[in-house]
């Protein structure tokens, strides 16, 4: 006895009913709403503990399974247990249920739990508006362009579901609801743009709280080896736009933390601000001319520290947005009064040839000569050999520095990311054992040797170089451009920048040569043919340039659209006196104009009428004028008019031709709207052409003796 195999379609309908097109409207809408909530959860997954994301996705998967299999939703006690579980999970993960992170996680969990009681339209509306609020909370963690695109997609999806929920009848396609949602968003976009451009920004109240978990780069100290880790990070540290011609890449040293105290293998800074007297201020006059002054604008990514990156050396305070203050430290780097937790835009000017503190009393130079006892003994012996070298007899400190740099050039030292220099005697290891290292290893060994030669020296950390983006003309400085160099103090000159890495590897500062890990993508490209690999790399670089230029525009015109930018915009538009009251007045005018346009649009929509209905109403008014007792209603139909004419035709003693002309006209009008497609009424011409012909015939239809067909009515007396 043979058995008939189950058709594939039957199994598909049983296990995947939505794929076979048999899913009910309610189930389809539920799955669509669950997909939207899943998108909201995944967007925030990078900022949430894995337990929170896993529980949310698990609840959504369970709810989808219940929908597909048409199972009963969990009862009240099950939902109560889940609520207690998510509160306990939030408290365990964040040690609290309050605050930005804990509150966002709790809202996300409650949003997913709400889907377990999704039965009525009221429950769906709660999920809609809670979803909008949860999407907004994403900006607490990231305000990047990618986040904005993801939130925009989520908002459009929620609007689509909201429109779909307001069309309960039938099985309308989601595509139709999406088009309505897009039209709603387009109508609201001008108002949103006006509010964004003109709503006053009162610093420091305006804006979202800073993201405390943003990625960091350099730190306020340096352990030998940590800058080498940054060299494998290709993310953007900041971007620079120069006014006029940019300086050569070899002169692009962006000053960060200056480190002067060595404790074993760790360098730290002095950490006190500069408070120069008038005499000291005069001693720090520029060594070059005004032509050496470079003006530029920096778009600094959040790094959780207070220092500001400026081209070495900024002689005037950077121009920061309203609500920010800058302070120059004793070692000439600039800091802000609070940590930088969001993208910061500021202007600065620097002197490329600048020697600071040409005359410093000896006691103030002692910290720059200090070394821990017993550290790097072989480097101390090397310093003595330099000092005892007959070639350097009676030499100046500047000549001694040049002799050490020459040793780096011809001594077989190499520039590499390979690890190997560790421990407290890292300088000894570099000079005598490995003879290779990254910029921090070289700078550390050089400064330790200088101090052993009684030449005041310190380490400066920051960034060097950059890459010009031809899409927007800005220089991109990445974390991989992190660099460490040295400064030595010379009598009569002050602090002078010395980059010992340039002596070991001149290409490091002259061009884009970098020591970076290739990564999986780079290794895959290397396996291709040279011609194809080069074209692919150029294509990927072009795409990256486009993306970075777009992201910079987002940072400039959205994230950094401050009150100052608002005022600049109004000045460019011709306003002379600009303040926050001007913004409020323009905003009120814009809102009034939007309300007026909206009212005119509604009025125009009401005035517009369906051409078919307009023809029908013209016929009704003409028949009413002839004496047909037609109700004064726009709901009259051609069939009702035909019935009224038939009733009055029986009372009239006139020829049937006039009545037949009207009956034929009304039947044709009815057929234009209600005749099925493909019928004889639609065979000759299109409905639009037929309607045009009917409207042309209407004035030529004969007069009907309807007054004779009506019973006599008693006229009221007028006496």
**Residues 663-702 pLDDT 10s:** 889 888 888 888 765 555 545 567 778 888 888 888 888 8
Decide if pLDDT at 520 tops 90.
Answer: no
* Ranges 593-607, 613-627, 650-664, most confident: 613-627
* Straight-line distance from the first to the last Cα atom of the chain, in angstroms, rounded to the nearest whole number: 103
pLDDT tens per residue across span 128-155: 999 999 998 888 888 888 888 999 999 9
The DSSP result for 354-423, as a single string, is: --B-S---HHHHGGGT---TTS-HHHHHHHHHHHH-GGGTT--HHHHHHHHHHHHHHTT-EE-------S
Return the pLDDT at 86. Answer: 87
Write down the H helix ranges in 422-529.
Answer: 426-428, 439-452, 500-504, 507-510, 519-526
Return the pLDDT at 453. Answer: 94
Return the pLDDT at 523. Answer: 52
What is this structure's pTM? Answer: 0.67
> Using 50, 70 and 90 to split pLDDT, how confident is the model at 617?
confident
Write down the H helix ranges in 527-562.
Answer: 530-554
> Using 50, 70 and 90 to split pLDDT, how confident is the model at 608?
low
The answer to whether the peptide bond before residue 14 is cis (omega within 30 degrees of 0) is no
pLDDT tens per residue across span 473-503: 899 999 889 899 999 999 888 899 999 999 8
Decide if pLDDT at 652 tops 80.
Answer: no
Decide if pLDDT at 375 tops 60.
Answer: yes
| Contact assessment for residue 300 and residue 310, using Cβ atoms and an 8 Å cutoff | no
Write down the H helix ranges in 8-49.
Answer: 8-15, 25-43
d(CA 625, CA 272): 97
Look at the block and give the residue holding tokens 């200088």: 450
Return the pLDDT at 643. Answer: 85
Return the pLDDT at 158. Answer: 94
Return the pLDDT at 139. Answer: 85
Decide if pLDDT at 208 tops 80.
Answer: no
* CA-based nearest residue to 37, from 15, 62, 19, 18: 62
Decide if pLDDT at 368 tops 50.
Answer: yes
pLDDT tens per residue across span 45-86: 888 899 899 999 999 999 999 999 888 888 888 888 888 988
Decide if pLDDT at 418 tops 70.
Answer: no
- How many residues comprise the chain? 719
- The mean per-residue pLDDT over the stretch 299-328 comes to 88
> Using 50, 70 and 90 to split pLDDT, how confident is the model at 529?
low
CB atoms within 10 A of CB 239: 27
> SS3 for 39?
helix
Strand partners, 350: 294, 314
> SS3 for 486?
strand
Look at the block and give the residue holding tokens 């960091």: 216
> Using 50, 70 and 90 to split pLDDT, how confident is the model at 10?
very low
Decide if pLDDT at 12 tops 50.
Answer: no
Decide if pLDDT at 199 tops 90.
Answer: no
Decide if pLDDT at 202 tops 80.
Answer: no
* CA-based nearest residue to 297, from 367, 346, 363: 346
d(CA 698, CA 665): 8
d(CA 565, CA 588): 20
Range with lowest mean pLDDT among 12-21, 224-233, 315-324? 12-21
d(CA 614, CA 400): 100
Return the pLDDT at 452. Answer: 94
State CA 192 to chain mean position distance. 17
- The mean per-residue pLDDT over the stretch 182-201 comes to 85
d(CA 484, CA 224): 10
Q: Residues of the chain with pLDDT > 90: what percent?
A: 25
Decide if pLDDT at 624 tops 60.
Answer: yes
Looking at per-residue confidence, does 158 or 102 come out higher? 158
d(CA 211, CA 100): 10
Mean pLDDT, the chain, integer: 80
Count Cα neighbours of 541 within 13 Å in the Cβ-side half-sphere. 12
Return the pLDDT at 508. Answer: 67
Over the range 427-451, which residues count as b (16 or more CB within 10 Å of their CB) and which as e?
Answer: bbbbbeebebbbbbbbbbbbbbbbb
Decide if pLDDT at 458 tops 80.
Answer: yes
**β-strands 236-242, 482-490: how paired?**
unpaired
Decide if pLDDT at 349 tops 90.
Answer: yes
pLDDT tens per residue across span 273-308: 554 443 344 344 444 445 578 999 999 988 888 889
Task: Round the CA-based radius of gyration of the chain to a whole number and report it.
Answer: 39
- The mean per-residue pLDDT over the stretch 651-655 comes to 61
> Using 50, 70 and 90 to split pLDDT, how confident is the model at 156?
very high
Decide if pLDDT at 512 tops 60.
Answer: no
Decide if pLDDT at 546 tops 60.
Answer: yes
pLDDT tens per residue across span 570-589: 888 888 778 778 888 888 88
């Amino acid at each position: 006895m043979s058995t008939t195999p189950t058709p594939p379609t039957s199994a598909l309908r049983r296990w995947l009913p939505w794929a076979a097109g048999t899913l009910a409207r309610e189930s389809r809408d539920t799955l669509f709403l669950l997909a939207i909530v899943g998108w909201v959860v995944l967007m925030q997954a990078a900022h949430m503990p894995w337990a929170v994301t896993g529980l949310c996705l698990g609840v959504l998967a369970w709810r989808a399974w219940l929908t597909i299999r048409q199972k009963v939703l969990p009862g009240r006690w099950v939902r109560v247990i889940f609520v207690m579980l998510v509160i306990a999970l939030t408290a365990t993960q964040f040690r609290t249920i309050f605050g930005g992170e804990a509150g966002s996680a709790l809202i996300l969990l409650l949003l997913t739990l709400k889907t377990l009681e999704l039965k009525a339209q009221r429950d769906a509306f709660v999920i809609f508006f809670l979803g909008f609020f949860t999407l907004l909370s994403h900006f607490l963690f990231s305000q990047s362009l990618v986040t904005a695109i993801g939130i925009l997609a989520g908002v459009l999806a929620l609007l689509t579901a909201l429109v779909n929920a307001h069309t309960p009848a039938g099985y309308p396609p989601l595509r139709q609801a999406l088009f309505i949602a897009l039209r709603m968003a387009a109508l609201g976009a001008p108002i949103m743009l006006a509010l964004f451009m003109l709503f006053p920004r009162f610093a420091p109240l305006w804006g979202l709280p800073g993201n405390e978990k943003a990625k960091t780069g350099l730190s306020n100290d340096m352990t030998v080896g940590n800058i080498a880790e940054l060299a494998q990070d290709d993310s953007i540290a900041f971007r620079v736009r120069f006014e006029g011609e940019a300086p050569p890449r070899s002169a692009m040293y962006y000053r960060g933390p200056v480190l002067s105290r060595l404790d074993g293998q760790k360098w730290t800074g002095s950490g006190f601000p500069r408070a120069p007297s008038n005499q000291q201020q005069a001693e720090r006059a520029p060594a070059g001319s005004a032509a050496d002054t470079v003006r530029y604008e920096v778009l600094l990514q959040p790094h959780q520290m207070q220092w500001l990156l400026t081209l070495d050396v900024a002689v005037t305070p950077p121009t920061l947005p309203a609500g920010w203050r800058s302070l120059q430290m004793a070692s000439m780097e600039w800091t802000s009064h609070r940590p930088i937790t969001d993208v910061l835009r500021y202007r600065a000017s620097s002197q490329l040839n600048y020697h600071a503190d040409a005359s410093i009393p000896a006691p103030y130079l002692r910290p720059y000569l200090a070394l821990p006892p017993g550290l790097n003994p072989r480097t101390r012996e090397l310093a003595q050999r330099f000092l005892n070298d007959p070639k350097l007899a009676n030499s100046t400190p500047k000549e001694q520095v040049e002799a050490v740099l020459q040793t780096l050039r011809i001594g077989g030292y190499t520039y590499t990311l390979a690890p190997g220099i560790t421990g407290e005697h890292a300088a000894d290891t570099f000079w005598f054992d490995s003879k290779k290292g990254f910029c921090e290893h070289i700078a550390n060994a050089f400064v330790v040797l200088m101090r052993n030669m009684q030449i005041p020296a310190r380490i400066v950390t920051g960034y060097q170089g950059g890459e010009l983006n031809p899409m927007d003309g800005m220089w991109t400085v990445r974390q991989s451009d992190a660099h460490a160099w040295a400064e030595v103090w010379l009598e009569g000159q002050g602090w002078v920048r010395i980059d010992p890495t340039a002596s070991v590897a001149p290409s490091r500062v002259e061009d884009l040569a970098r020591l970076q890990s290739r990564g999986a993508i780079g290794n895959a490209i290397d396996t291709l043919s040279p011609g194809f690999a080069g074209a692919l790399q150029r294509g990927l670089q072009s795409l990256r340039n486009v993306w970075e230029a777009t992201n910079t525009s987002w940072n400039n015109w959205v994230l950094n659209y401050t009150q100052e930018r608002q005022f600049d915009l109004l000045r460019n538009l011709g306003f002379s006196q600009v303040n926050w009251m001007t913004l409020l007045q323009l905003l009120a005018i814009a809102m009034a104009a939007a309300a007026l346009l909206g009212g005119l649009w509604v009025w125009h929509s009401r005035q517009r009428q369906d051409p078919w209905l307009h023809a029908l109403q013209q016929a009704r008014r003409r028949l009413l004028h002839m004496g047909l007792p037609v109700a004064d209603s726009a709901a009259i139909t051609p069939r009702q008019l035909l019935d009224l004419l038939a009733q009055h035709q029986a009372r009239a003693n006139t020829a049937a031709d006039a009545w037949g002309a009207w009956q034929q006209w009304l039947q044709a009008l009815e057929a234009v709207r209600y005749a099925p497609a493909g019928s004889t009424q639609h065979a000759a011409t299109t409905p639009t052409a037929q309607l045009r012909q009917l409207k042309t015939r209407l004035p030529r239809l004969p007069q009907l003796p309807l007054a004779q067909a009506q019973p006599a009515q008693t006229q009221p007396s007028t006496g």
